[in-house]
Copies of this chain bind each other. A is one copy, B any other.
Amino acid sequence: MSLLAVGSVAFDSIRTPHGEVEEILGGSATFFSVTASWFTSVSVVAVVGEDFGKEHFDIFHQRSIDTTGVEQVPGRTFRWKGEYLGDMNQAHTLDTQLNVFETFVPKIPPAYLDTQYLFLGNIVPVLQLNVRRALPHLLASALDTMNYWIQGMPEDLAKVLATVDILLINEGEARLLSKQNNLKKAAAIIRKLGPRVVVIKRGEHGATLFGPDSVFTVPAYPLDEVFDPTGAGDTFAGGFMGHLARTGDLSDANLRRAAVYGSVMGSFAVEEFGLGRLLRLTPGEIESRYREIKQLTHFDA
């Protein structure tokens, strides 16, 4: 079924212990949509500048992603520069140039108004809310956010939280949002704010899904090398929502499978800089890693 992503498209400059790259294609909507494109058809609402060329649009089109909603406006595309040291769990931002993203107002093309699955990437909460309200036919909506909005715009964030089905959030953000250190209690508090499903991402430790019927944990796939963690969270979301939209099944058993696909896709994302690995995948590789996570977690009752 139809899946729409709203978020950022950016040029990322990244330094890790393994090397560095300059101005490669990134952003939450980009990682999400390229990932989800392995599962279902995806449309994107985002903004880019005049420096966003045909070669960049081609990356989306190569994955059959609908970019009708990617508005191109005067100015430069959003740029982010960051660095990972030592344990690779924490990005250190070196430079942020919002550029055209600073005045981004998502515009939903009429053809998208019957969208059934929605991912609201990490943007200003009030913009997320407007998008959510503009789409009356949703079967499931998912939200990402960050410390900056949790601390700076709690009222707006509360409004959008009250309207979504799923919150995908990392461990530190969950603690900040709930003012609760214990993750089980934190998830219970967040679920009372609106989302009936809370997925807490724990980086190299995997993720835990707190749903209406049960709690489910999925580990991260053990890799010999985490090359570049940029985009891993949005990639997890892309696998998760991609699987839900592909199947149209929101049962407890299928939410679990979706979380495993999230972990699978996240593990591919970090194997190379940027979108590298995510563009070179095959459906067979995805299914094979899904089975490896099954093997990694299986024990006899």
Contacts and interface: CB of A to CB of B under 8 A. Distances in A.
Nearest to A216: B296
A217 B298 CA distance: 9
A217 B293 CA distance: 9
A55 interface: no
A206 B219 CA distance: 10
A291 interface: yes
A8 interface: no
Contact of A202 (B86, B205, B208, B215): B205
Contacts of A297: 216-218, 297, 299
A143 B253 CA distance: 39
A90 to B, nearest CB: 14
B219 A217 contact: yes
Nearest to A257: B299
A151 interface: no
A184 B224 contact: yes
A36 B229 CA distance: 40
A171 to B, nearest CB: 10
A207 to B, nearest CB: 11
Interface residues of A, number: 37
A199 to B, nearest CB: 14
A222 interface: yes
A291 B182 CA distance: 22
A282 interface: no
A256 interface: yes
Interface in A178-229: 181-185, 202, 204-206, 208, 214-219, 222-226
Contact of A301 (B202, B206, B291): B291
B182 A225 contact: yes
A86 B181 contact: yes
B226 A182 contact: yes
Given A202-B205, A205-B202, A219-B219, A182 B224 contact: yes
A47 to B, nearest CB: 37
B185 A224 contact: yes
Residue with the greatest number of chain B CB neighbours at <10 A, chosen from A216, A217, A253, A301: A217
A215 B296 contact: yes
Nearest to A260: B299
Given A202-B205, A205-B205, A300 B253 contact: yes
Interface of A: 86-87, 181-185, 202, 204-206, 208, 214-219, 222-226, 253, 256-257, 259-260, 291, 294-301
Given A206-B217, A206-B219, A256-B299, 12 more contacts: A182-B223, A183-B222, A184-B222, A205-B206, A214-B296, A216-B297, A216-B299, A253-B300, A259-B299, A291-B301, A294-B299, A297-B297
A-B CB proximity, top 10 nearest? A205-B205, A256-B299, A217-B219, A184-B222, A297-B297, A294-B301, A260-B299, A217-B296, A257-B299, A184-B224
